[in-house]
Structure 1
């Protein structure tokens, strides 16, 4: 007979091996042979029966960690079934049955070994359950886990988290995190054995930041795989994380932001659930903390005289006259800046940042910096590939904060904010509504973002910074009017960058300006040629990297099609280069583009008899 299915209540499952043990008692009383051996069997069964009833009493009064209880109970029931089968064979029966059914002493030794193992398992189980009384974590190895010690350790640690005192919960969580840090197999065992639910419960333990930190750390280690993240989501983990993110000590918030970033990176369902639970607003709130306080706001100017990214008058205009009237009733510009920051970024009340604001103000700058780094990464992961999440970030005025940080900060914080902007602009490229709403020509946040992107492209000699900035400008190509030529000039300059990846990205971005998808493609194409981009593009055609060659060739074709009469094209012998390219292996869509460009250029540069030049070195 098989043990009860896991879907049954724990009390029902525990009753099954007790029933089998009682049947063994009756069978032993009816035996006619091997009586001493059957008596030994009953002694072990009786011990198991007592321990099973002890577990039943615990289950009736205390919520137990059921995973090991069910596993041990099922294995015990299986061994009791073996004992019952053997004992029943010792009952007097017909001569024929005794001839066919032969029982040996070896059979009893085997069954007794099984029962001994079950006794060991039950002892370990009771010691783990009794850990609630303060005896600590049980690291003994039960026979059921002899082939996989990690399993028993995971059971012990999860059991202490679920049933132990607070100190035991913290210790168990730290031990679990240590196991999870080692390898993915350990992570899989922790999740399969039901570790996520008690960890999430501990994460909400607002009275103990230490417990929250331990839990968030362990969950971060687990959340590096789609399946495991999905388990956290299914255990209603997203609302728990957002709650902790909104109102907790700064170190807990940092780990909560890390957890948001990890989960959003690996699971699109988690990414959307976090947005649905309004995780973006507290992330922007925390990222913006102290960001605007160091600014000299008189007349909307920075201390060096340049116009402030976070100009008070621009913000007033954007937020509407009502906000302006409310704020103009008194106080200096500094007081208004503080009022704006408090009223806008803390409108959710004390549960959205007020409770621990004083702590954040007095915290070590390195700790505050790490919080911002984590929040910026979380926003990056939430925005990645998501139009709706990118829109939510722009609706919280997050772009002003991102632009300010890109301007003032360095290192990982600046990089994460730049990557967030790159994802938002990529979403805007795909969605016209977002593009029109967030990147209007006269929008202060859009102006601030573009200003910083151009500064990064021109002034920062770092491919890891320049490439996302160039991609962002390329994504916004359709938002710039014809007069906005200043965004094209730095892209053209980067075509000659010694880093081929930067040069290639500049070619891709310029292609978006010159593409027919752009309403102003003719004007932009002429400006690109006017800025002497053609020689640099011709040089890129000689790249050994196929994709880079194709990108440069596509840009050159658009320039030829939209400004074919330019003398720069003739001087650079673009027609000859295209004719040479047409004789090579190209993707069909590029081959079609090259053919059209050749036909178009022949209208202006026909009659040449020179040999075509190959763009391949």
Structure 2
């Protein structure tokens, strides 16, 4: 560890000193003079290249990984050469010759090693030439692992080359990262992340930023590598670039945010602390006219005016992040015009990427969910779910599903963000119910049902339309949708829900029991269906529908199998069977039997 902390100049000083000693000892040789002279010649050439490297390090900050690795190998070679030539300082005699066991073979081996070391250092100097571009030639040190040499060359070029060469090198690293996991690991271990982040942050070229973002995205496919990016100031840089860059760059950066947030909870929360949700929501909400949601408002409240003001504020702020430079106003106006001229397909891609980023940021994270709902994101999401189709609509539904899942375990978030009588809450719930009622595709219906289920405790007992829509899906031909509806209804009917009795009555009223029985016959798992049946038995055990469906027999027949896997449900099954025994005709005799 201490060796790694040495400066590059200190690293290079030792092999230079050793080379000088090899030259001097070779001049003093009394035996194998010609061989020593050849070694001195190699050492002299090597010393010159080493000194050129030192001069280079004094004028600029160099990528140090290959320098340290090559210097370490050069030092070993020179140390071996010095040991060999020192054996030749005395005049030869038979006894000394026998003891030293020095031969021309030893000189040939060391001579080859010195030649290789010279070629390594010469190659090292070539990759630091800013006007040469990435070097694809292989130094001897990388003869058995050419990928290592290419990675060193690409990283060095990204750090110090001219712009086009930096773009080419970043694209090359991106392609290498796609090949296999070993390449990704090597790029990170050889300190490739920092130069890529620097290129992403400092470049005035959209092409360069896209190349850097793509390389980082390809690297960030597991938690360890995502963490390496995050702790290298990657989160702060990504947030800055997302707020200031052209749309086509923002697309790639938003995709990077999605992947990092999805794979590493540390990065996910760091993005929240840096308030990345704001530029994401702004980009998602471009072209969304919020005052069209006025029907979601009670007519006598003053909120309609506030909605219009919100819409105007978002329109003004869409480009507010771009006007913080010295000539802020003019630059902001120019960037605003540039954004307005972007093709519709670019805007659509950006919205899709931002919606996915919000989805991944919200997943299981209270901090990010709060920040998202504190903006006008819910209104934007409701409008997009209503108007859009395809991937954008699905990503928005997944975002709502994750926000609702977090709110399910946080009463304050449920109350502040998803109150059914609030403009945002009502607009969003209306759209979720519309999707459940009108759509049939699982990627649309399932997240909508999950979101409604997560919010089950926010709905009043009198709002039976929610139950009606969900019960209808119990009979859906897609078993996954039907089971999801069953899970959602279980959250309405479970004893933890204050309105569980009224909700259970509504399930029965809308013919939920026959649909539930049909689902029990078609679903292999049956656990969620049996739980819902238990809840109905607890709250409406005297229902004729349950008696006609032979709910008591079904629960008793399934109890042994279910409780063997889920002993925690023993009390629930016992209470449900007891209730049905009390209410159903012949139940007592059946129970005794």
> Is TM > 0.5 for Structure 1 vs Structure 2?
yes
CA-to-aligned-CA distance 1:235-277 (integer Å, 9 cap, x gap)? 1011111111001111011111111111111111111111111
CA-to-aligned-CA distance 1:289-324 (integer Å, 9 cap, x gap)? 01118x7x5xx66xxxxx2x5x69899628xxxx85
Find the aligned partners of 1:599 and 1:286 in 2 and give their Cα distance: 56
1:36 and 2:13 equivalent?
Answer: no
Q: Which residue of 538, 552, 566 corresponds with 1:575? A: 552
Corresponding residue for residue 87 of structure 1: 85
Greater mean deviation of Cα atoms: 366-375 or 65-74: 65-74
The count of corresponding residues between Structure 1 and Structure 2 is 582
Find the aligned partners of 1:147 and 1:489 in 2 and give their Cα distance: 68
1:78 and 2:76 equivalent?
Answer: yes
Helix, strand or coil: the match of 1:204? helix
Greater mean deviation of Cα atoms: 14-23 or 99-108: 99-108
The structural deviation recorded for 1:194 is: 1.1
Corresponding residue for residue 615 of structure 1: none
Find the aligned partners of 2:230 and 2:123 in 1 and give their Cα distance: 32
Greater mean deviation of Cα atoms: 85-94 or 560-569: 85-94
Q: Is residue 247–residue 355 contact of structure 1 (8 Å, CA) maintained in 2?
A: no
Task: Quickly say closer, same or farther: Cα 1:275–1:608, change in 2 above 3 A.
Answer: closer
Corresponding residue for residue 154 of structure 1: 151
The structural deviation recorded for 1:523 is: 0.8
Find the aligned partners of 1:441 and 1:368 in 2 and give their Cα distance: 31
1:202 and 2:188 equivalent?
Answer: no
1:115 and 2:88 equivalent?
Answer: no
1:360 and 2:357 equivalent?
Answer: no
Q: Is residue 248–residue 356 contact of structure 1 (8 Å, CA) maintained in 2?
A: no
Helix, strand or coil: the match of 1:63? coil
Q: Gaps (5+ residues) in structure 1?
A: 302-306, 328-332, 613-617
Corresponding residue for residue 341 of structure 1: 314
Task: Quickly say closer, same or farther: Cα 1:316–1:89, change in 2 above 3 A.
Answer: farther
Q: How does 1:548-559 map to 2 (within 5 A)?
A: 549-559=526-536
Q: Which residue of 132, 135, 159 corresponds with 2:132? A: 135
1:396 and 2:359 equivalent?
Answer: no
Corresponding residue for residue 328 of structure 2: none
Q: Which residue of 337, 351, 354 corresponds with 1:375? A: 354
Q: Is residue 513–residue 524 contact of structure 1 (8 Å, CA) maintained in 2?
A: yes
Task: Quickly say closer, same or farther: Cα 1:191–1:521, change in 2 above 3 A.
Answer: same
Find the aligned partners of 2:301 and 2:84 in 1 and give their Cα distance: 85
Q: Which residue of 3, 6, 19 corresponds with 2:4? A: 6
Corresponding residue for residue 504 of structure 2: 525
1:189 and 2:186 equivalent?
Answer: yes
Task: Quickly say closer, same or farther: Cα 1:287–1:542, change in 2 above 3 A.
Answer: same
Task: Quickly say closer, same or farther: Cα 1:354–1:499, change in 2 above 3 A.
Answer: farther
Q: Is residue 479–residue 523 contact of structure 2 (8 Å, CA) maintained in 1?
A: no
Corresponding residue for residue 416 of structure 2: 437
Task: Quickly say closer, same or farther: Cα 1:312–1:565, change in 2 above 3 A.
Answer: closer
Q: Is residue 27–residue 36 contact of structure 2 (8 Å, CA) maintained in 1?
A: no
Task: Quickly say closer, same or farther: Cα 1:4–1:26, change in 2 above 3 A.
Answer: farther
Corresponding residue for residue 50 of structure 1: 48
Find the aligned partners of 1:37 and 1:382 in 2 and give their Cα distance: 67
Helix, strand or coil: the match of 1:17? helix
Corresponding residue for residue 330 of structure 1: none
Q: Is residue 238–residue 273 contact of structure 1 (8 Å, CA) maintained in 2?
A: yes
Give the structure-2-normalised TM-score. 0.93
1:288 and 2:281 equivalent?
Answer: no
The structural deviation recorded for 1:101 is: 2.1
The structural deviation recorded for 1:592 is: 3.0
More helix by share: 2
Corresponding residue for residue 102 of structure 1: 101
Q: Gaps (5+ residues) in structure 2?
A: 326-331
Task: Quickly say closer, same or farther: Cα 1:244–1:154, change in 2 above 3 A.
Answer: same
Task: Quickly say closer, same or farther: Cα 1:343–1:377, change in 2 above 3 A.
Answer: same
The structural deviation recorded for 1:11 is: 0.4
Q: Is residue 230–residue 270 contact of structure 1 (8 Å, CA) maintained in 2?
A: yes
The structural deviation recorded for 1:338 is: 5.9
The structural deviation recorded for 1:589 is: 2.4
CA-to-aligned-CA distance 1:362-395 (integer Å, 9 cap, x gap)? 2110010000000001101100110111111000
Helix, strand or coil: the match of 2:561? coil
Corresponding residue for residue 561 of structure 2: 584
Q: Which residue of 211, 216, 219 corresponds with 2:213? A: 216
Find the aligned partners of 2:302 and 2:164 in 1 and give their Cα distance: 51
Task: Quickly say closer, same or farther: Cα 1:347–1:188, change in 2 above 3 A.
Answer: same
Q: Is residue 4–residue 13 contact of structure 1 (8 Å, CA) maintained in 2?
A: no
Q: Is residue 422–residue 469 contact of structure 1 (8 Å, CA) maintained in 2?
A: yes
Helix, strand or coil: the match of 1:542? helix
Greater mean deviation of Cα atoms: 572-581 or 485-494: 572-581
Corresponding residue for residue 303 of structure 2: 317
